[in-house]
Amino acid sequence: MFACIAIVQQQRPQISQLSQMSNISAEPAPSADHLINLAFCFSPRVEPISSDSILLDIDGLERLFGPPRELAQKIMRRAGELNLQVNIAIAANTGTAIYAARGLPGTIVIPPGNERKTLSTLPLDLLPASSDVQDTWKLWGLKSFGDLAALPETGVAERLGPEGARLHRIARGTESRPLIPFIPAIDFYASRELEHPVELLDPLSFILASLLNQLCASLEARALAISELHVEFKLENAPVDASGNPQIAQISQKSVKSADCKCERRLSFPVPLRDSTALLKLLRLDLESHPPQAPIIAVSLRATPAKPRVTQNSLFIPPAPEPQKLELTLARITKLVGQGNAGSPMLIDTHRPGAFEMRPFRIQQPHWRYKTSQVRKGTTSVVPNAANHAGASAPEVPSAAKADLSGQSYGMAKAIPLQKSRGLAGAERKSQRRKKRSSWLPSSPPVSFRVFRPPLGADVQCDHDQPAYIQARGIRGKVVSCAGPWRTSGDWWMSDPWQRDEWDVEIAPLSRKVRAATDGTPGQALSERLRPRSAKPHVVTPRAAQPPTALYRIYRDLKSGVWYVEGSYD
Amino acid sequence: MPANSAKLGLAAAIEAKLGSSVFSAREKPEPETIPIGIREIDAECGGIPRGVITEITGPASSGRTTLLHSILAGMTAQGEACALVDASDAFDPASAAAAGVALQQLLWVRCGTHKNNALRVTDVLLQNGGWGMIVLDLGDIDSKDARRIPLHTGHRFRLAIENKPTVFLVIGQEPYAASCSAMVLETHAPAPSGKDACFAAPFSRPTGANPPAASRHFRAAMEHPGVPWTVRERLRAREIRI
């Protein structure tokens, strides 16, 4: 059963044309808001038809409000309390309820089967027909719903098309469609004005905690979580600079600060949160980093709702930090080491040495897929998707680097490949399985590099155009062997081009005796102190003492001619 | 030992009164280990244990970082979340990616040169839990500075990591965690190899890649037994020399 409430003609707002039955008015007028509130008092399933009428699904409301006639009277009484003069019609289908409410005064309950008879007296002007159809009706001499209903359906459809057929069904009281429930947009907002200005974080935390509890409770009732939290503080007085203008604080990535005595913070969470304690901690950490510039006199929180993340742990997926805890941990770490110093590194597609960018760290769930061939056989096994997950780092390697690395073991790219094992002997299959299990271990891993940030300025003495001695902070020694130079350059079209000669050098640290000799007298140039091997007979060669050596990458900036130690191979 | 004899006597008296099943040995279960790719070590002790402190120590250019990247590659391949606390900002993402580390699975915390920050960050990460591996890289911190790390830090870390399925690695020039570490993996830099052994001649090297010249140096060290690795396993009180 459906009920339709329509505002009587005198109270109706000025509407140019009644909207189509299926259309919902985009922005309800104030009277429409009252109508929606009135409808929600009786049924949770309502649909605003236009700004002056609303449809209710009243199935199952008998036990609450009694039979339909009693319900109609209660609705009428409630509308009177809201100063609304309405017509109410209850019918078995939506079309009949809507047009009966619009055309018949007071309350009417139409029993099933009486729809055509009840609607027959209504004028055809109520139907949302186009001007051509209305002209045709005038030519045919039709004036009421009854006249139209008396015509044969096939004949009307042939002459007036689908629109005519639909209007004919409405006139006969057989037009029905499902109700499209209206879900009001809920604003998750909580605010509080303070009696006294608050300057300290601890008393403010109590207020924030209570507001967050309210927000989280209302979100929990609707099975939602917070994806973004917008906090606004009203300040007692804005800080003023020397010229008397209000100061505008530095705009950080998370915050927007305006000069009109307000401080706004915006916290975005990669995973929707609903834990008020965790939210409070995050908010506290943020406020410690970006404190408001003046005492606070009002606080308001507005939450952007989102569906909470639902994860199901699996036996085959390794455990990972809890997303909520991780957010808190990352916020704490960021507070310790500074913004941009904690995250996942990502290589940039450039030849510039040491280029990378930091991205926020997110827990990556491995992609698992089933081997279909084995599923068919009945032995299901789950393996990580090597292409998507294990080799995920491969696309990040610069294209130039890929060429060189192609011969090396890409631990991940080779990880647990999906191979057909059909037709193999049992022992062979076993050995393959063993290989798969340990295939992520690189057989001969590429040498790793440790970077000195910033690169160490070095004094390098060359012999026959090759580095012979090196001295930098913490590094001093004779070059035992070297390889190079590799000349690289790039970004010449930009403001900071680079051009350099790189060398890989093996350095043997000098013995104490030699170090004392090379320290020399003050004022003596290093280049003089560090003479070539041939010209310095007292230098003890490292080979004799066999001390451990170290490998470094050095380079000479061709623009400035300065030598640097970029890092060490380790 | 009088204390021991007294203890045994007391135990015998209690057993006589209450029965022989009063005292039963409660052995600590062996920690789960993950293979690290060095055949001898994996065969002897199964790899690196979880839930305890493991140290990789050695001088510069002894292969600590190569070993670390190899382990990180394995862990990230299994889909485990890893965290690297870089006390000297020395991590090179390019060489890690070349070693097979899935960088999106790695949280890299750059502490600049603030050693204390690195310790605090490690504390926070250990408290968080859920990590597959946490690495505290003190490799470029001067030994004198590193020795000033309070001893109780190691104890705190040991207690925090206990009973957690997390591999905790400390990279340094010397073992700093002292008795708190369950395993110490010492790497030794090879003696000077000379021109013939290490570098053949300047040869072409594409930009952005690791130089093959240098890799020969380490491959030789890693593949030939007898030189680089020493494992001291405190759990079983023995030393493995490879």
Q: Which of A354, A393, A440 sits opposite B103 (nearest CB)?
A: A393
Q: In terms of CA atoms, which chain B residue is nearest residue A552?
A: B61
Chain A nearest CA to B215, separation (Å): 5
Q: In terms of CA atoms, which chain A residue is nearest residue B37?
A: A441
Q: Which of B70, B92, B107 sits opposite A344 (nearest CB)?
A: B107
Q: What is the mean pLDDT of residues B106-128?
A: 89
Cα separation of A57 and B43, whole Å? 72
Q: Measured between beta carbons, which residues in chain A are less than 8 angstroms from residue B64?
A: 570
Contact of A187 with A302, CB cutoff 8 Å: yes
Q: Which of B37, B60, B97 sits opposite A441 (nearest CB)?
A: B37
For chain A, the distance separating the N- and C-terminal CA atoms, rounded to the nearest angstrom, is 79
Contact assignment for A449 to B103 by CB distance below 8 Å? no
Contact of A549 with B59, CB cutoff 8 Å: no
Chain B nearest CA to A328, separation (Å): 9
Contact assignment for B95 to A401 by CB distance below 8 Å? no
Cα separation of A77 and B187, whole Å? 88
What φ, ψ does residue B156 adopt, rounded to 5°? -65, -45
Q: Looking at residue A168, what is its pLDDT? A: 92
Chain A nearest CA to B212, separation (Å): 8
Q: Looking at residue B212, what is its pLDDT? A: 35
- Report which DSSP code applies to A534: G
Best A327, A510, A570 residue to mutate vs chain B (most B CBs within 10 Å): A570
Chain A nearest CA to B94, separation (Å): 7
Q: Does domain A188-239+250-306 have CATH number 3.30.2140.20?
A: no
Contact assignment for B208 to A442 by CB distance below 8 Å? no
Q: Looking at residue A246, what is its pLDDT? A: 47
Contact of A117 with A104, CB cutoff 8 Å: no
Task: Calculate the dihedral angle through the C-alpha atoms of A386, A387, A391, A393, rounding to the nearest 10 degrees.
Answer: -140
Is pLDDT above 70 for B27?
no
Contact assignment for A404 to B35 by CB distance below 8 Å? no
Q: Which of A356, A366, A484 sits opposite B202 (nearest CB)?
A: A484
Contact assignment for B217 to A551 by CB distance below 8 Å? yes
Q: Looking at residue A27, what is its pLDDT? A: 42
Q: In terms of CA atoms, which chain B residue is nearest residue A342?
A: B109
- Report which DSSP code applies to B91: B
Q: pLDDT band at residue B17, thresholds of 50, 70 and 90?
A: confident
Contact assignment for B131 to A318 by CB distance below 8 Å? no
Residues sharing a CB contact under 8 Å with residue B195, sequence separation 6 or more, in sequence order: A480, A481
Contact assignment for A329 to B128 by CB distance below 8 Å? yes
Q: Measured between beta carbons, which residues in chain B are less than 8 angstroms from residue A446?
A: 66, 95, 98-99, 210, 215
State chain B's mean pLDDT as an integer.
75
Chain A nearest CA to B208, separation (Å): 5
| ipTM (interface pTM) | 0.76
Cα separation of B67 and B48, whole Å? 12
Chain A nearest CA to B166, separation (Å): 10
Chain A nearest CA to B205, separation (Å): 7
Q: Which of A317, A351, A442 sits opposite B99 (nearest CB)?
A: A442
Contact of A267 with A254, CB cutoff 8 Å: yes
Q: Measured between beta carbons, which residues in chain A are less than 8 angstroms from residue B51?
A: none
Which one is predicted more confidently, A440 or B73? B73
Q: CA triplet A510, A516, A518: central angle to 5 degrees?
A: 70
Chain A nearest CA to B239, separation (Å): 22
Q: Measured between beta carbons, which residues in chain A are less than 8 angstroms from residue B211?
A: 447, 483, 486, 504, 553
Contact assignment for B189 to A548 by CB distance below 8 Å? yes
Q: Which of B59, B100, B114 sits opposite A410 (nearest CB)?
A: B100
B185-242, pLDDT tens digit by residue? 888 776 655 443 333 333 333 333 333 333 333 333 333 333 344 554 444 434 455 4
Q: In terms of CA atoms, which chain B residue is nearest residue A365?
A: B79
Chain A nearest CA to B35, separation (Å): 8
Q: Which of B37, B132, B208 sits opposite A400 (nearest CB)?
A: B208
Cα separation of A123 and A143, whole Å? 6
Chain B nearest CA to A420, separation (Å): 21
Query: Between A and B, how many CB-CB pairs are < 8 A?
Result: 314
Best B92, B106, B217 residue to mutate vs chain A (most A CBs within 10 Å): B92
Contact assignment for B60 to A570 by CB distance below 8 Å? yes
Q: Which of A329, A277, A282 is nearest to B120 (CA)?
A: A329
- Report which DSSP code applies to A246: B
Cα separation of A520 and A528, whole Å? 9
Contact assignment for B121 to A415 by CB distance below 8 Å? no
pLDDT tens digits for chain A (570 residues)?
Answer: 898 988 886 544 444 343 444 344 444 455 677 888 888 889 889 999 888 889 999 998 888 888 999 999 999 999 888 888 899 999 999 999 999 998 888 899 999 888 889 999 999 888 888 888 889 998 999 989 999 999 998 998 999 888 899 999 999 998 888 888 888 777 889 999 988 888 888 899 999 999 999 888 888 888 889 989 999 999 887 555 555 454 444 434 444 444 458 888 888 888 888 888 989 998 998 888 888 888 899 999 999 998 887 766 667 777 788 887 888 889 889 888 988 899 999 998 888 888 899 998 888 765 554 444 443 444 333 334 433 333 333 333 333 333 333 333 333 333 333 333 334 444 445 455 545 544 444 455 678 899 998 899 999 998 888 899 999 988 888 888 888 788 888 888 888 888 999 888 888 876 555 544 444 443 343 333 434 444 333 333 334 445 577 889 999 998 899 999 999 988
Q: Which of A252, A235, A247 is nearest to A299 (CA)?
A: A235
Q: Looking at residue A444, what is its pLDDT? A: 58
* CATH tag, A2-172: 3.30.70.270
Q: Kindly report which listed range (A344-358, B12-26, B93-107) carries the lowest average pLDDT score.
A: B12-26
Give the tokens for residue A170: 């409405």
Cα separation of A146 and A134, whole Å? 15
Which one is predicted more confidently, A375 or B10? B10
Q: Looking at residue B191, what is its pLDDT? A: 60
Q: What is the mean pLDDT of residues B32-38?
A: 81
Q: Looking at residue A371, what is its pLDDT? A: 44
Q: In terms of CA atoms, which chain A residue is nearest residue B201?
A: A483
Cα separation of A552 and A480, whole Å? 12
CB neighbour class for B176 (10 Å; exposed up to 12, middle 13-18, buried from 19)? buried
Cα separation of A244 and B47, whole Å? 67
Q: Measured between beta carbons, which residues in chain B are less than 8 angstroms from residue A447?
A: 66, 95, 210-211, 214-215, 217-219
Contact assignment for B108 to A567 by CB distance below 8 Å? no
What domains can be seen in chain B, in order of their start residue?
37-190+209-237 (3.40.50.300)
Chain B nearest CA to A358, separation (Å): 9
Q: In terms of CA atoms, which chain B residue is nearest residue A322?
A: B130
Sequence ranges of the domains in chain A: 2-172, 188-239+250-306, 323-359, 368-438, 449-569
- Report which DSSP code applies to A106: S
Contact assignment for A400 to B89 by CB distance below 8 Å? no
